[in-house]
Structure 1
């Protein structure tokens, strides 16, 4: 896949800790996207430093400005790929909190409201876990969350990387060819969907 106008992919990892398996998988997805001729941006949710959602903060100081950074990044992308760990079978607070704040943000100047930025936006899902399910439960809950609350178009193709603590080599690349092919399949399918749904260039 080498589109004339490169598809812009936003990749979001649900974990930013040192040694994160999902961050490693997100970086691998970025490399794959770029090989396919797309541009890829890896967004660090932890760097946004959003407080825990609190209605009193919203009613007082208001929605933190950092939520606008996430909105702008999603609005600028043709597709969004979320790479999620699993915390007790559910998506991590880092993702849910950021998206909850974004959902409360209203339009400001040229920036759309949070829910406007996500509506109809193609999304893809990957997960990684040391366990045998590879974070599958978290990914399935996140699919429902993004579709129902944010009206995103979540591609049916997804991949859960099990035994992820053994999956990467010293350079951070996937060792198993089948796993790499599965991740590539998700990325390519999402890029194709993003290209098909993107507004015509030049308008």
Structure 2
């Protein structure tokens, strides 16, 4: 077995961490806002909208990638609009990897935050409203702090999901070394080319990072466990 080429090893790892961190932050902000709003409102068709939110969790990643490719491609109105503003297409860029990761991570973040907000004692929020707090103040000072553990779990699960994203990323970001090649796509290329050393190195790195992130969600609460 050949030695690890560290110059080749690190770029996909750094890019994966950057993409996972940024996409998990975006997914967390969006997931918190949507979950909080949905927990406050009831309307006709709510169940269909929530089902649509969860679709990326069950659809094949290639299907998600294909839809994003159609929506953001250079022939689409949205893709042309983005290219006109930034003077560059979004597809086959590292931003495309971020978008793909946000889409696949959002359902996990949303569902986790929805459960977190649902577990809050309604009387505490009503008490805040009774002394004159508006909805934003109730959210900021009561709901969000009480859902803090759910927020941490949602962020970590979103990060882990984004870190391991492969199919959708490959569809719209490609596999350009040093530009859009993440650890999952690098592993695929290494295995396909018979480079077991690099495949194992990248596999080990993503297992270690994912294990640490998931371990954080298992930390004991109030001295239990």
Bin the TM-score by the shorter chain. 0.3 to 0.5
Higher relative contact order (CA 8 A, sep 6+): 2
| Higher CA-based Rg | 2
| TM-score with structure 2 setting the length | 0.31
| TM-score with structure 1 setting the length | 0.33
* Structure with the larger helix share: 2
